[in-house]
Amino acid sequence: MSACSRFRSLGLVSLLALAPVLVPAPARAISEADRPAIEQMIKDYLLKNPEVLRDAIAELERRMKAAENKRRSETLKESRALLNDSPRGVVVGNPKGDVVLVEFFDYNCGYCRRALDDMMNLVKTDPKLKIVLKEFPVLGKSSVDAARVAVAVRMQDPGGKYLEFHRKLLGGGGEVALERALAAAKEVGLDMARLDRDLKSKEIEATLEESAELSDKLSISGTPTYVVGDEVVPGAIGFAALKTKIDAVRKCGVTVC
């Protein structure tokens, strides 16, 4: 909501709150002739009592946040199977882990490159953790091209070679585009003839569309974004913060016990 629309809503809230004062019982319809006087009374009241506006803003934000949290919680429940168990996601760590961490990433995202070490440290230190990687190319054509190659790599070898490919692309610097992604696939030993065929497969578009649909439902717009337990977590928040949330989910089912 923009600032202007927010204050229009607050004007209505204030008017409704003041209605018992301004319109004595029995209530009567407000005529156009009455409107200027009533608007002036509201203005005078708010100038003398600005804390009413502050409290109204706080209450509006509380209600909006509660509504958004409820909507997102319901969407997470509806999307859990696609997030955690879709064959179009790549699993790193323990496939039967008791906690699932989903990461939406882009190969050209600098913060995703920083987050790569966080993921590898989590895998190393938490043998019960399942991590699911979701291709989410949001930074232009080069990212889309790299993601398409990555999906083809997953189709051929969703295990060790995909992870090796993934680390090569995120572990380097500079732009990641088609040629670099193909070179990385070749370096890790993929069958390039098959990869070329798989790049023409409908599975490529279906995988990217699945990630896009999930991101729309969960209001995900940037990378990296994590989904863990009951929470969608935007940004590269670091190993310690992720571990705290994972431990909380393991202990009590939510990210904040």
Instruction: State the greatest distance between any 2 C-alpha atoms of the chain, in Å, as a whole number.
Output: 83
Among 149, 30, 134, 40, smallest CA distance to 87 is for 134
What's the whole-model pTM score? 0.75
pLDDT at site 46: 86
Q: How far apart (Å, rounded) are the C-alpha atoms in residues 108 and 188?
A: 20
Distance CA 252, CA 257 (A): 6
pLDDT digit string, tens, across residues 97-116: 999 999 999 999 999 999 99
CA separation for the pair 145, 181 (Å, rounded): 8
CB 216 within 8 A of CB 92: no
pLDDT, position 29: 62
pLDDT for res 140: 96
Low-confidence ranges of the chain (pLDDT < 70): 1-30
* pLDDT for res 1: 33
What domains does the chain contain, in order, with CATH numbers?
A: 3-71 (no CATH), 86-252 (3.40.30.10)
Core vs surface per residue 225-248: b (16+ CB within 10 A) or e: bbbbbbbbbeebbebeebbebbeb
Sorted by sequence, the CB contacts under 8 Å of residue 249 that are 6+ apart come out as 99, 228, 229, 230, 255
Omega before 50 within 30 of 0, i.e. cis: no
> Would you state the pLDDT for residue 80?
93
| Residue 169 contacts residue 180 (beta carbons within 8 Å) | yes
